[in-house]
Chains A and B, each alone.
Chain A
Amino acid sequence: AQKVTQAQTEISVVEKEDVTLDCVYETRDTTYYLFWYKQPPSGELVFLIRRNSFDEQNEISGRYSWNFQKSTSSFNFTITASQVVDSAVYFCALSDLSGAGSYQLTFGKGTKLSVIP
């Protein structure tokens, strides 16, 4: 069965600090996808990134970067020079091919990030 663990329940940082959100996953499949979603206080789920299991190249998008390591089953997310607008709950999610061919997402419990001005 799939499982996603986000051990950090809440993190507080001062604006401009860097912060890393941890994600550890479990799956028996060799083909799977990993995601990060952001949930701001308004409640919607905003897609940030998708990674497939065959692509371990790290990715950078502006102040955001992701470190995917299959050896440790981790997909960590770093925000550089954090801003107040980064305050949100961040969810890591996993999808693999379920029996009927749909990629249902298994979410972690989320990490609430508070950026203090």
Chain B
Amino acid sequence: EPEVTQTPSHQVTQMGQEVILRCVPISNHLYFYWYRQILGQKVEFLVSFYNNEISEKSEIFDDQFSVERPDGSNFTLKIRSTKLEDSAMYFCASSLPVGLAETQYFGPGTRLLVL
């Protein structure tokens, strides 16, 4: 069964460093998403991406965040200068186009720890 994959599973970084989280969505999906979950809290939407551009972003997704689909398979989230409060689990998700099966399937997550 096709699934969303994410690398790395864990990432530890120093405050101020840049990190890139990688995701490979399900191959025939066209909508891609990033969510984050601070430990013990609910899952929060960050950004959605379609047709090589951001379609929606939350207020959390400020200028330090960026997303990219550098090739036909990867979808990345970059955090330019990490802060302590960026420590969280980051989930990638993908779905088929609106109007079809909109269920978002999630990857296993990347646990980011900023020291």
Contact = CB atoms under 8 A, between A and B. Distances in A.
Q: Is the interface of B mostly helix, strand, loop or mixed?
A: strand
B60 to A, nearest CB: 12
B56 A35 contact: no
B56 A97 contact: no
Contacts of A100: 48, 55-56
B42 A109 contact: yes
Which of the four size classes fits the interface of chain A? 20 to 34
Interface string A10-46: 0000000000000000000000010101000011111
A101 B93 CA distance: 16
A102 B55 contact: yes
B111 A45 contact: no
Interface of A: 33, 35, 37, 42-47, 50, 91, 93, 95, 97-110
Given A44-B109, A100-B56, A109-B41, 4 more contacts: A43-B109, A50-B103, A102-B50, A102-B56
